[in-house]
Structure formats: C-alpha cells, structure tokens
Amino acid sequence: MGRAIRNRTGAHGRGEPPRDPAAAWTWRSSTTNSTAARAFHSKALQSKSDKFREQLRRATVGLIDKRAWSAQARRTSARQRQALVGWLDTIRRIGKGHGIRVWTSSR
C-alpha cells in the first residue's frame, strides 16, 4: 500500500480520494502524515542549512582575516616589526588603563 501511495499508482494516482470510506480514510491519513513529515523534514533541512551557512560565513571571515594579516606581515620591514613589538610591550606594561595610577583629565 505504501509503495502504491509513493508511486501514485492505482486509486492513489488520482487527485481525489477513493470512493470507499475505509480507503478514503487511509488515503487522507497517509496524505496528512506525509505532508507533516515533509514539513518537519523541510524544517530540519532548513535548520541544518542555516547552521552550515553560519559555519561557512565564520570560516570565510577567518580566512579573510588570516590572509589580510599575512599580506600585511609580508609588507612590513624588520625595523617596523621591531617598533611594533616595542609598542606592544609598552602597552602590556601599561595595562588596560583602568588601574589606580592611570592619569585622567579630572585629576
């Protein structure tokens, strides 16, 4: 019976339910169940698609970031890198600027 419904053969090939009430009930319940199953399956697939799309977006952003920094590193001379490392060390020593020794214009 399930194969006949899937393949839409015999009474299931018509666009209307069969005349026999028991057969009509079977036809209607199978149509309702398959519609609900398709809707559920569609939602699950959409959810998976959305998750994969977000993963792809994150991977693309990461790739762009890595390629941009790689290109910048190739353009930076040894002297410039040394200056940047010195600046980074200074910033680390200063901290985030929230300590009690931070100078503010209100003092």
Task: Give residue-wise pLDDT tens across range 29-72.
Answer: 777 767 666 777 778 888 899 999 999 999 999 999 999 989 99
Buried b (16+ CB within 10 A) or exposed e, 5-25: beeeeebbeeeebbeeeeeee
pLDDT value, residue 77 = 93
In this structure, is the dihedral angle defined by the CA atoms of residues 9, 15, 16 and 19, taken in order, positive or negative? negative
Mean pLDDT highest for which of 8-12, 53-57, 91-95, 101-105? Answer: 53-57
For tokens 């060390």, name the residue.
89
The torsion defined by the Cα of 93, 97, 100 and 104, in degrees rounded to 10, comes to 130
Query: Is the pTM above the cut of 0.75?
Result: no
pLDDT greater than 60 at residue 106: no
